[in-house]
Amino acid sequence: MSSLWYLFIVAGLMAVSAGQLQAEKKYGPGVTDTEIKIGQTMPYSGPASSFSLLGKAEAAYFAKVNDEGGINGRRINLISLDDGYSPPKTVEQTRRLVEQEEVLLIFGSVGSAGASAVHKFMNANKVPHLFLATVASKWDDPQHYPWTLAYPPPPRVDAHLYARYLLKHYPHARIGVLYQNDDYGRDYLKALRDGLGEKQATMIAAEASYEPSDPTIDSQLVTLKGAGVDTLFTFANPNAAAQAIRKVGDMSWKPIHFINYSVASVETVLKPAGLDKSIGIISAQYTKDPSDPQWNDDVETKRYFAWMKKYYPEGDPADLYNVSGYNYAHAIVHVLEQCGDELTRENVMKQAASLKSVELPMLLPGIALSTSPADYAPIKRIYLRRFDGKRWAALEE
């Protein structure tokens, strides 16, 4: 065989092989050889704008990923749109992302009401609705909504923890509940009732709800205090939680005060409320607190600080919403990496629904993400904490 024919044959085999490799790639909307386009809605304005730090931190982490070569050579293109924490706006912006921008998936969107407004749309169109930043039990329903999966622990995880603590230490507590009048708040109220079991009827003395658009929650707290409540649960958004803590202090009312973990941010909630008025508040955590000296020598915490300094210098590294955004971004990057070259919507959901003890850098030890086709609640463990005036300290159950 002449050398010329040999070169022709080799070149032909290489061309066939390259064609086969190219054919093995499977792409959904928003994906090319160089890009993965994903979308989210975020309350950059409105009553829950504090949560927008999640979106800012996520964008900053994706910038780091892209600088390091992206996901198997593909850059992440995050399109993050403001919905003002308004469900009609969430619908408008989500439809834009899916129908006009043609993103591969929606990731990390904030708010139970907004997510509920697009829940059926996302599932009817078979678009991954992933790692939602919303706390409600309804997102763990793969049988009816197989395309929607949230990130945070559902309300039963921390509400049952609070209930066990009360039943053990304060079995005769007279409980009052302030809750946001949506899936998020009502779910927490139900979870607390379930956790208290048969004692709920005698322990819960009063309930008061508020709308996310309400300018204050003062009247509800006055009502709860008037009902003789000595143990207060605040299931609220960051703005209302800060108001509640401040108002309780202003009234010289000293109930045992619980707030749910999603608003347990020192920087965003407790400082605006007043650190002196926040002393003794009980909540729960599943992420590391970078301001806690116990993590000073932790390798992952040092990496977190280095990332903040380089990619998000305007952010406060002590703010737990920035910590959470960092973890959220790690989670979706893990899913996309697991997809390999099969970046279809179907495979994205398959990978998201098969997480096996995935440890994220800023989760507390012993906590990891695990899912299955029948279990869409990635985080199932959380630890009780009490605020001591400077930081969240461990509290024995």
CA 367 to CA 136: how far, in whole Å? 19
Name the token pair of 154.
């559902």
- Angstrom CA distances, 304 to 42, 243, 301, 312, stand at 23, 30, 5, 10
Contact 326, 362 (CB under 8 A): yes
Strands ordered across the beta sheet of 282-285? 204-210, 175-180, 231-235, 256-259, 282-285, 383-387, 392-394
In 3D space, the residue among 156, 155, 162, 161 whose CA is nearest the CA of residue 231 turns out to be 162
Strand segments (E) across the chain: 26-27, 35-42, 75-82, 105-107, 129-132, 148-150, 175-180, 204-210, 231-235, 256-259, 282-285, 342-343, 383-387, 392-394
Predicted local confidence at residue 19, as pLDDT: 45
Predicted local confidence at residue 7, as pLDDT: 45
CA 354 to CA 28: how far, in whole Å? 20
In order of their start, the domains of the chain are: 35-153+297-382 (3.40.50.2300), 155-285 (3.40.50.2300)
Predicted local confidence at residue 18, as pLDDT: 46
Residue 281: which H helix or E strand, with range? none
10 Å Cβ neighbour count for 46? 19
For every one of its 397 residues, what pLDDT tens digit does the chain have, with 9 covering 90 and above? 445 454 444 445 554 444 444 458 999 999 999 999 999 999 999 988 989 999 999 999 999 999 999 999 999 999 999 999 999 999 999 999 999 999 999 999 999 899 999 999 999 999 999 999 998 889 999 999 999 999 999 999 999 999 999 999 999 999 999 999 988 899 999 999 999 999 999 999 999 999 988 999 999 999 999 999 999 999 999 999 999 999 999 999 999 999 999 899 898 899 999 999 999 999 999 999 998 999 999 999 999 999 999 999 999 999 999 999 999 999 999 999 999 999 999 999 999 999 999 999 999 999 999 999 999 999 999 999 999 999 999 998 7
pTM summary value: 0.86
In 3D space, the residue among 152, 151, 149 whose CA is nearest the CA of residue 128 turns out to be 149
Name the token pair of 349.
């959901």
In 3D space, the residue among 55, 20, 13 whose CA is nearest the CA of residue 38 turns out to be 55
Q: List Cβ neighbours of 19 (8 Å cut-off, separation of 6 or more).
A: none
